[in-house]
C-alpha cells in the first residue's frame, strides 16, 4: 500500500528523489535473492509519496519473485498511480546475476520545462576492472 500526502507547493516545479540502495527480491527461476539500487525521481503535482509507506512497499518485495525488468517497471507504475506526478523516472541498477548486471530505466512522459534532473549518481557496474 502506498500512501500519498498533499504537496505543500503544487505550483512549483521541483524534483523529489528517493535513493534505495538496498532493495531485494527473489529470482523467479532459482529463488535466490536479487539486489538492486533504485533511484526514484518525481516531479510532484498535487501529492507526494509518503516515505514510510514507500519503505514498507519496497520491503514487501523481499519474498516476491519477478524478473528485474518486471519489478522495476511495476514499482514505477505503482508509484505513478498512487501520486499522479507530473513526471516520474525510476532507475534500477541490479547487481549481477550470472555475471550480467541488468540496469532498467522507466519514466512517465517528458520532464517538465524548468525541472532540473541531476544524474542518478550510480556508476555502471564494472566488476573488478
Please state, in angstroms and rounded to a whole number, the distance separating the CA atoms of residues 47 and 60: 22
Residue 5's pLDDT band, with cuts at 50, 70 and 90, is very high
Active site residue 34: yes
Residue-wise pLDDT tens digits, 74-129: 999 999 999 999 999 999 999 998 888 899 999 999 999 999 999 999 987 877 65
pLDDT digits (tens, 9 = 90+) for 51-89: 999 999 999 999 999 999 999 999 999 999 999 999 999
Which residue among 3, 25, 27, 41 is the active-site one? 27
Q: Is 41 a catalytic residue?
A: no
Length of the chain, please?
129
State how far the Cα of 39 lies from the Cα of 89, in Å rounded to an integer. Answer: 8
According to DSSP, the residues that pair with 38 across neighbouring strands are 20, 92
Please give the full DSSP string across 54-109, using - where no structure is assigned.
Answer: HHHHHHGGGG-B--HHHHHHHHHHHHHHHH--SEEEEEEEEEEETTEEEEEEEEES
Q: Which of 3, 34, 41, 103 is catalytic?
A: 34
Amino acid at each position: 500500500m502506498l500512501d500519498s500526502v498533499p504537496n505543500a507547493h503544487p505550483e512549483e516545479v521541483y524534483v523529489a528523489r528517493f535513493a534505495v540502495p538496498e532493495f531485494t527480491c527473489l529470482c523467479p527461476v532459482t529463488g535466490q535473492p536479487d539486489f538492486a539500487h533504485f533511484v526514484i525521481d518525481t516531479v510532484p503535482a498535487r501529492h507526494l509519496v509518503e516515505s514510510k509507506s514507500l519503505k514498507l512497499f519496497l520491503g514487501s518485495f523481499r519474498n516476491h519473485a519477478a524478473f528485474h525488468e518486471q519489478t522495476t517497471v511495476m514499482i514505477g507504475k505503482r508509484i505513478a498511480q498512487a501520486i499522479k506526478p507530473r513526471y516520474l523516472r525510476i532507475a534500477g541498477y541490479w547487481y549481477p546475476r550470472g555475471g550480467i548486471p541488468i540496469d532498467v530505466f522507466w519514466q512517465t512522459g517528458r520532464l517538465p520545462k524548468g525541472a532540473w534532473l541531476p544524474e542518478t549518481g550510480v556508476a555502471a557496474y564494472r566488476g573488478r576492472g
